[in-house]
Structure 1
């Protein structure tokens, strides 16, 4: 009797979990953490840490618009921290990249179409320089985990108000008949006081994948049209060529000469991203690694880092 009750209880919990996940959610909160230490190589250089918080919600049913599947609004905040080959470079002559930080809040809107193409427009406002609190963030991180004490932040790029805008376009190119693999085009352009440039790449996915307008690939598992996304578990790869017109974290301010250490940027940077994503009803988990060719006109070398993302959905 006890075993049968336990079995019934277990089945009940399982069915409740399936039922709880078999619905559509309209809201999503999440975070993303970037760090080169995730690759376990012992490096602490260049783009050394990033932390991003996001809240997204799907607007009211967009189906009455021709071809429009859904619209998603995003509110975000984030901090990016950069340092030379090591966070301990007390002398400017040893700094092959400036110490720098970027702190912002942002908003974005994504339009997803039934023919599986997407347009996203975003704007960010914030600051670079000491006001970005990157020195405080790195010192707190290193103290918390027992790392070395950073040195050299007194030579970081100067304070500058940041206003940046970007657009991204995605279109499905080809999907296999068994719906287990597909290829999509991605292109972007950004312009602002911190970052300006453009890029294009191809996203390849393999595994249990959803259509682009319901996939975690583009933060589209929320909605307001009653459609319930299937569970996803897939590997992905994305080679991308980037044109860099301006990067304030390397070149300093557009409007003033208030940065003691600056360098030029490489105009063309190739990036290769590999990752795996798991998404169920409420939860999405993603881990990926990004390898980049040399970005700076100095003795700096190529760079790589890892990224972890978790999103939780609710009504």
Structure 2
């Protein structure tokens, strides 16, 4: 991008700063016990002030409250955003970035302030503006800009209940940037590489060799996955492994539709596979139409090359 093009681009995107993404809106659901229960089950938050009415009434809270971390949940669009998302100003701004080559998107951090507890029956309203666009930055992911939105949360009386700053990096992917000044074609992106650390590198190295190993405690013979240094049953630090036959069944699954990440095939069905040995493994389910996948479906797996850098276990209908 020439200096003149960059200046024109920056003038276009900075014109969005200060504009509201949408008018003040009410969340789809009032604060309610069912959603609080779902949240605490998933997060394994056992604080009784969220679920035990008798305990909560005797506590300093004087009744049930919602976990503060659910503040944004009451304002979210839900499943429609993966099929027919609302065309708002934020998505319009992202499309401007995309049109200039800033096709990478990465949520980097959020800062949230909580002003009071929310209780069942409260109504949550939200109002979001595009608050700030940074100066251009050279990051490890590529050249780009940080875009910050600010959301003010209020209740049914119009009183403030919280505020959230959300930051997204819009960037030119490094591969794309490197190829921009040459005639070399841009390589197709690969899948996100799994991090390999002290406790799991051995497992990925076995996958590279076409094997899926299951960690086993040397003391009590308990199998465990994912890999970790200590046995959860007897706390032994001694372990070895066995090789899985990769026979099993679908314990649960989901079809990932949105957003579409470069390097991944779609439709993309990911499942929790109950292996015959007794442990579970998250992996792709392939070789059939997504509509054919069901809980309890018998599957058999094999390690396959899914791109030039990555081998992964994938499961087929048995």
TM-score class, shorter: under 0.3
More strand per residue: 1 or 2? 1
Greater RCO (CA < 8 Å, at least 6 residues apart): 1
Q: Which structure carries more helix by proportion?
A: 2
